[in-house]
Structures are given as structure tokens and as C-alpha cells.
Structure 1
């Protein structure tokens, strides 16, 4: 998971980068320029990528500037010691959370996940969509009660679609969440390949054989199980009962 990190103290930055990396984060260190150049790094569709600000004399103004620019990314402040008044000022300025060290990467992930799911309108840590139970704490989803094993990339893509369900998620949002500012960015067609793999896994595990993920041409993807109409259900039931009549078969029968 990508995260923007602002830590102006070089003595703290290296250790914090290592700690985040050990917890499977992909931190992107930013400088003061991050707040002074039209905020182009946080504009557009990358609203799920959190911003972690180490406390400094400009924390409140930095938060206010980000929010005034239209930034909707989760913003978390990291402090060396408890300071209720400073925390209140940061939260009032637009921060989503104010955390005191020591902090583990796993706790940070849980806090970010809680902020993201509330942003997308999910109060609980999981949702049920058709045959799928999607979790927002990093776990693989369940399909018909059985865990579906996903690779790290597949899970990152699936969670972007699940968070927005049943709304459509553009390919650019998914791509940015998975690859972000990585130097070795692949072509965006790789998202189609991963989506195909995920759909196949769901299809194989779903009792209905429904892949659940819909491709909306030119718009993106959405997690939306197939809905079988009452007429289709009746037709299926009628078909199951029907017996084909052949000459010589005295039992000319079936539902008519």
C-alpha cells in the first residue's frame, strides 16, 4: 500500500521509512515542495493514498492547505508525545487521525483502513456482495464461505473495487492505488490481466458461476453480482421439468 510520508527530520526519516517498509507499506517521502506546487501529487483519482505527517511547527497550516486545495486523501499526524491541544488543532484543520508514537505499521494500516472504509460509506470491516464477503483489514475475501487466495497485487485491486461497490471504479484509480509512483510502472493493460484472473477465481468458487466483477466499457469495473429475474427463475424451473416427447414414448409429458 502506498503512503506519502512527510518527516523533515533526517534522523527520524530513515528509521520511519524502514519501519513502514517492513510492514508492507510503500512509502513515498515528500518534502516542503509537496505543499507548495499545486498539490499535483494528490490531485485526480489518487484519493485513497494516505498522507502521514510527522509533527512540525507547520503541521496545522499544511493540513489546512491540503484540504483547501481539494485534497480528500486520508491525513494522519504522527507525534512524539501526547499533546491534546495540538491534536485538537490538527483534527479541526482537517486531519483524520492524530497518533502518538510508538506506532506499528500494522496499527497504522488498521487506522487507514478504518478511515478509507468510512470515506466509502462502509461502517463495518466487511461487506457481503452476492457470494462474496470482502474484508477491509487486509484479509483475502471469502466466496461462498471459503477463502479465496489472492496475490498481493490481486488483493490490492480487488479491495479498490470492493470499497467502491456497487459503484464503478475507473482503471486509473485502480492503477494508481496499486502502482502509484513506482519507477517500474507497467502498461495499464496489466490491470485487465489481473481483473481477468480475479474474475476466473470467483467464477470457479461461486455456486452460481458468476464472476461478480463487471466490466463497464470505457468507464472501469464494479463489483455487482448478477441478478436473476423472477421470469428467468421460472423459465429455469420449467426447463428442468420439461421432458422431450419422441414418437413411441407413451409418456408425452412435461410442464406445458
Structure 2
């Protein structure tokens, strides 16, 4: 996820909330830094503050849309005028929140944007005998609860959002870790994948390894 917010306390609170669920968050405090990140990385969601020290977050929004990137965008604004919020939506924003806001609402809106981007409208994902609820961070296999670490939770969410499709190790790495996690490599993905596979052993779901391509979550019933 991309977070563009110049207020350090607000940015830290948002990043901590999202990271607690296993999401990777790249933070930019200026328009220039945000442009640098967008130039080299595609994001599942972008959270953009409108007022920045060197410009407007809507400039990042416009550049994302001009590049034809489908990234869902949530705007953060202290502005209360309706026409300014309408303008952001007309320029391609998918949603907005007016400051101050509750972090739980931000998290819920971000999850909704991710589901919409993946083509899933329901909050709970059911696949074979798995019932996965991102909101409560829970997984049931055949009606029995299964405990996941935050990294396993993030990994399973990625695979379920792409169920049936092949997901590369690099894509998983980008989704699970931010630019600050410089020492992390694809072997870390293999480690978490192995642990997740063990927790799914009694289910009807398996994660296939396609050598040179990536991983695929399939229903083997």
C-alpha cells in the first residue's frame, strides 16, 4: 500500500494499523517522494492526503490515472467543502475520508477497495472448506478455527484474492513487505508459504508450486 501523508503522527498511526494485519506500507511525506514511489511500484491501494508541503495529493492521483493504473485511491482531506471532495472523486478517486477520522473506518474502507479491485464484493471469502474473514482476521477450516500469524494472514489473503491464478514470488514479496524491509528476499516467501501449507493440510485446498512461475491456490476436492 502507498500512504502519502505529511503529518508524522497521522502517518505512523495509519501505518501501524495496516501493518498489524500484515500489509506492507510505503510512506511518502511529500509529493516528490510519492512520485518517486509511484514511478517504480504498482500498489494495491493508495491513500493520499490532499494537502502536502510541496503540492497536492490530487496530482499523484492524476498521474496514477494518466498512466492507466487501476490502483484504488482513497483521499484524506481536512477540507469540508463539498465541491472539493466532488472534484477529487471526479479526478478518479474511489473514496475519501475527512479528517479527523476513526482508524477502524479507514481500515474498513481500504479493505472494501481491495475487495472491489479484486472483483469480490463480499467481506467474507469462502473457498472449498475455507471461510476467511479479513475484518476479524479469522480462518475456519471445515468449521474449525485456525490460528494464523500476521504474515500467514497476509499471504493467505493474497492467495485467496487470486484463487485459481498463478501469483509470482516477486508479486507476493511486494505485497507483503515495504521498501524499508531491504533484507527480505524471495526465500522469506518460501518460508511463510511452507508454514501456511502445513496449516492448510487438513483442508480441501492446496497451494501448488509452478516452478519458475509462482504459486497457485486450488480446490482439490
Q: TM-score, normalised by structure 2?
A: 0.86
Pair 1:219 & 2:181 matched:
no
Closer, same or farther in 2 for the Cα pair 1:72/1:34, shift >3 Å? farther
For residues 78 and 161 of structure 2, the distance between their equivalents in structure 1, rounded to whole angstroms, comes to 32
Matches within 5 A, 1:138-177: 139-177=137-175
Pair 1:47 & 2:46 matched:
no
Cα deviation for residue 4 of structure 1 reads 2.2
Cα deviation for residue 179 of structure 1 reads 1.0
If you compute each CA radius of gyration, which structure gives the higher value, 1 or 2?
A: 1
Q: TM-score, normalised by structure 1?
A: 0.75
Residues 55-78 of structure 1, C-alpha deviations (whole Å, 9 max, x = no match): 236343331112112333221111
Q: Which runs of 5+ in 1 are unaligned?
A: 8-12, 228-256
For residues 169 and 148 of structure 2, the distance between their equivalents in structure 1, rounded to whole angstroms, comes to 19
Partner of 1:32: 31
Matches within 5 A, 1:233-252: none
Checking the alignment, whether the CA contact within 8 Å between 2:4 and 2:57 is kept in structure 1 is no
Matches within 5 A, 1:19-98: 19-25=13-19, 26=25, 28-34=27-33, 36-37=35-36, 39-42=38-41, 46-48=42-44, 50-56=45-51, 58-98=56-96
Larger RCO, structures 1/2 (Cα 8 Å, 6+ apart)? 2
SS in 1 for 2:135: coil
Residues 211-235 of structure 1, C-alpha deviations (whole Å, 9 max, x = no match): 52222222222221114xxxxxxxx
Q: Which runs of 5+ in 2 are unaligned?
A: 20-24
Checking the alignment, whether the CA contact within 8 Å between 2:31 and 2:56 is kept in structure 1 is no
For residues 18 and 63 of structure 2, the distance between their equivalents in structure 1, rounded to whole angstroms, comes to 29
Q: Number of paired residues?
A: 213
